[in-house]
Structure 1
Amino acid sequence: MTGAADRVYAHLGKWAPLYVWLLVVLIALGRTFYLSVNVSNSLPGKLFLVHKGAMPQLGDMAAFRHAGGGGYEAGALFLKRVVGVSGSIVTAKDAGAGFRDYFVDGRFVGRAKPVSRSGEPLKPGPDGAIPPGHYYMAADHPDSFDSRYAAVGWVAQRQIVGKAYRIF
């Protein structure tokens, strides 16, 4: 155990200025920005800076609070790309065997699966015109849990935490 403790102290000694700098930045910018760690493979990148209150535009990355369901608690922070905005038309086409392909304004945005990797049934998300004050959120990864599933569905503007920027 002493070897492990020595390695921790050596690491902290070497990186202490960086940790202090990060702490100062987080305190100074904490009212305006939020750091978020992406724990899934749905987006490229692991660390994101979220500009609190900044409303995303089409194509932007955004952080939002999940309403709950699909194995995630209400309030869980999701990071996704805005692929549809109010007035965009979402269409879903049967792809066979319970799969559905989703398109936003004619552009393919993902395939919904009938069951999760753990075997839980997944209800398909909404289609039609995205209502005012709502977004269609998605990621490129085939297992992304996003608007193609009913538990996420249209994301209301009130759920948006802010615009997200990939750090690394």
Structure 2
Amino acid sequence: MTKTVEKQQSPLWENIKVIIQALLLAVVIRTFLFQPFTIPSGSMMPTLLVGDYIFVNKFAYGFSKYSFPGTFNLFSGRIFGSEPKRGDVVVFRFPPNPSVDYIKRLVGLPGDHIQMIDGVLYINGKPVPKVPDGTFSSDYSLDPGSHIPVYRETLSDGKTYDTLDQIPDGPGDNTREFIVPPGHYFMMGDNRDNSADSRFDVGMVPAENLVGRATMVFFSLGHDTPFSHIWDWPANMRWGRLFKAVQ
């Protein structure tokens, strides 16, 4: 009679395997599916606030060399790509320095003519409707504006979102006409008077530089609360922003 001896693995090794599998799964999700980002500035107010933590859909536009950790030049262009839509909130690599991530709203597609005239966005010669939509106050110490006029813009496809107009006749309210070249996009911040975007030094953003589309705010701390100050979370949590879709 033959006895079968089962080899039992130690609980410690089983725990190590579970941890390794979980880490590998996290790496795959972060690299190919969703990546968390923190909003560090007020350029996308009122849509995104300083202290928002968001998920970015990395497969929305396919993948480029900037989709992966590090600076490995694995390939050029995009694979499994799909075209972004006008009005998407997009994370991309800053063209003059691709090691830096930016987040803005895509307003210009390849071939579009983009211009700001008296604070109104013109796309291909037509003004984007802009109507008053209340006021906005910030709890961010470096941009503490209160009762800032909010204007709701509506694109030709029905996409609608709020913008801020802090400074009448600001430096970005009247621009030359920009023509978006093939394979590039024109980006603007919703905080129109406090955003470094395609009107200024960002310039046109190559398709290769797109990282993904912002989809959801999953966590949000106000009043410049550091993430590490867990004891301050209850008082400074923006509860109404948790799991809020990015429009």
- Shorter chain as denominator, the TM-score bin is 0.5 to 0.7
Q: Which stretches in structure 1 are left out of the alignment for 5+ residues?
A: 1-22, 115-123
Is 2:88 aligned against 1:60?
Answer: yes
Q: Could you give the per-residue CA deviations for residues 99-134 of structure 1, whole angstroms, max 9, x where no partner exists?
A: x875333337987628xxxxxxxxx97733311111
TM-score normalized with structure 1 length: 0.61
Instruction: Indicate conservation of the 8 Å contact 1:66/1:77, yes or no.
Output: yes
CA distance in 1, matches of 2:27, 2:209: 24
Tell me which amino acid in the other structure corresponds to 2:31: R
Instruction: Supply the RMSD in Å over aligned alpha carbons.
Output: 3.1
TM-score normalized with structure 2 length: 0.44
CA distance in 2, matches of 1:112, 1:82: 21
Alpha-carbon distance, 1:41 to partner: 1.1
For the pair shown, the structure with the greater C-alpha radius of gyration is 2
Matches within 5 A, 1:4-19: none
CA distance in 1, matches of 2:176, 2:91: 20
Is 2:101 aligned against 1:77?
Answer: yes
CA distance in 2, matches of 1:154, 1:112: 21
Decide which structure has greater strand share: 1
Q: Which stretches in structure 2 are left out of the alignment for 5+ residues?
A: 1-22, 62-83, 131-152, 154-164, 219-247
- Which of 52, 56, 74 is 1:50 aligned to? 56
Matches within 5 A, 1:93-132: 93=117, 103-105=122-124, 106-107=127-128, 113=171, 127-132=177-182
SS in 2 for 1:87: coil
SS in 2 for 1:161: strand
Q: Could you give the per-residue CA deviations for residues 20-39 of structure 1, whole angstroms, max 9, x where no partner exists?
A: xxx89744511222111011
| TM-aligned CA distance change 1:153 to 1:126, over 3 Å | farther
CA distance in 2, matches of 1:125, 1:153: 13
1:137 counterpart residue number: 187
Alpha-carbon distance, 1:138 to partner: 0.9
2:31 counterpart residue number: 31
CA distance in 2, matches of 1:132, 1:77: 22
